[in-house]
Structure formats: structure tokens, C-alpha cells
Amino acid sequence: MRAFLALLILLTLPACAAQVSGYDPATAAALQTQFQSGDAAMTCGISCSMSYGTARPELEYLYDTQDWAGLSTKLLDLGYNNDQSWFYLGRAAEGLGYTAAARKYYNQALAAGVKCAGFMNVCDGVDVPLLAQTRLAALSPAPTQDSGFDAAPAPAVDAAADSGATNEIPLTQEGGDLTVPVLINGVIPLKFVLDSGSSDVSIPADVALTLYRTGTLQDSDFTGTQTYTLADGSTVPSDTFIIRSLKLGNVTVTNIPASVADASAPLLLGQSFLKRFKSWSIDNTREVLILQ
């Protein structure tokens, strides 16, 4: 076993060294040109995992401080191919104004075969799939019906209710729950569990953190703390905030009270949303939510 590990280290060191060799202006300029056009090639695999692991604290710092130029330079120098690298590169491209390139890198993050999440790495607190989808949604044109959202301008819920309009939103059965696609703050589409027993719309802590880190949720949106009574009679405190908009189908509801739940909890579409309508019901035969 020791001999095998020694051989593995010897095999990986030359390749790692090649990735972090001395600075060459011509090479650096070529890498930046490829980066800006969306054609960056990060193809190094296991041979670069050691150098990438060593660089993770620096990458996290560059990401957190929004040093996009420094982040892109470091990533291109490392050349490591995993989903976190591609997400970081996409965020750097977006931050520097290379929108088309950013879109490519976010898609590569979602498609990457090597994932940062695992027993030895929790992606440094970065939820790569959720963040990549969030940033893509912010960059992309308005969602189409194929994604579960209507791209047409959404009327305000009060106007829809006043006119007596009826809106039907398809539901999906998932694990015994009925889920519905919801667009949060006009940016990120997520599936919520329809739960009339929940007094508020509820979002798990990790999703709330992701929304906060991407700017979809801001400090000014938080309203304080409230104590909630659970189904078993126990009570728990929860941070509360206002969601600026939730869109289902053709209807947009604004300024919805919401709460932050435990990270393991599902996203719940509760009464703070449903009570904004004159009536709502579920057609179990057709599996649609009917809002009026």
C-alpha cells in the first residue's frame, strides 16, 4: 500500500507542477482570451487535485471578496476540472461582465462529472448546483412554459382576483407531496411543496443562505424573529423575512411573509401565499392548483 501511494504521488507531482509553472505573459494572455470568450479549458483531473485542494482557501477568499480577476487567474492556472471550479469561473466571468462566457461555465458546472461534494469536501459552503442554477436564471431570458413558468408578463394577484380570473398551475407528485414550480423574486425557479397547514411560506436555511449570497435576498428583507407552533405542539423560533415576489403560472404575488426553516426542511408554499387569493383548490383528477 505504501509503495502504491508513493508511486501515485510521484506520478501526480510532475503534472501538478506543470499546472503551476512559472508565469509566462503570452500563455497568460491566451488563457484570458479563452476565458473571456467562454472557451476556457480546465481539463486537469486527479493529477491536479492536490494543488487544487491546497488552493481552496485562497479560492474561497477570492470568491467571498469578489476579486473576480484574481479568481479567474488562479483557476486558469490550476486548470482543475470539477463543478466548483467551473462555478467559480462562471461567477468570475459574470462579475467581469462576460455574460455569454459565464452562462457557458455555469452550464459546465452543472454538467461536470467530478463533484466537489463528498466525504472529504463540502464545497466550502458553496451549493454548486443551486448557485449555478440561480446565476443562470439571473442571466437567461425569461423562463418558458417548458420550464414550468410562463414567460408572459404576470398580472398582480389583486388584479387577477378582482377580475375573477382563474389560474391553473400544474402540480407534480413527489414522494407523497404535491409540488409546484415557483419563481422567487423574478430570478430563481424552485419547486415548493404545497402545504396549507403551514402558516407561512417556508424556506430552508441553506436555500435562504444561497439566495442571500446571490443578492436575491437582502438585509432589508429580514423583519425579525417569530415563534411557530409545529404539528406536534412544540414551538420553535424562526427568522422572518419578506419575499418580494413569487410567481406561479401567470400570477405574481408580492411582499409575502416567509420564514427560515431548518436546512433539512422542504420549501413550503403556505398560507401567507394562499390567503392572498379569494379562493384556491386542488383538482386531484387533473393534478392542478386552481387560484382565483
Kindly list the domain boundaries of the chain, sorted by start residue.
Answer: 2-139, 150-291
Query: Which CATH number does 150-291 carry?
Result: 2.40.70.10
This prediction has a pTM of: 0.54
pLDDT at 233 over 90: no
Q: How many Å is the maximal CA-CA distance in the chain?
A: 77
Burial 65-98 (b: 16+ CB within 10 A, else e): eeebebbbbbbbbbbbbbbbbbbbbbbbbbbbeb
- Judged against a pLDDT cut of 80, whether residue 146 lies above it is answered with no
CB neighbour list of residue 171: distance below 8 Å, 6 or more residues apart: 178, 179, 180, 194, 282, 287, 288, 289
pLDDT tens-digit series, residues 241-253: 999 999 998 889 9
* Residue 242 DSSP label: E
3-state secondary structure (DSSP) of residue 173: strand
- pLDDT value of position 116: 87
Choose among 156, 125, 62, 76: nearest CA to 263: 125
Which amino acid is located at 192 in the chain?
F
CA torsion 51-54-60-66 (nearest 10°) is -60
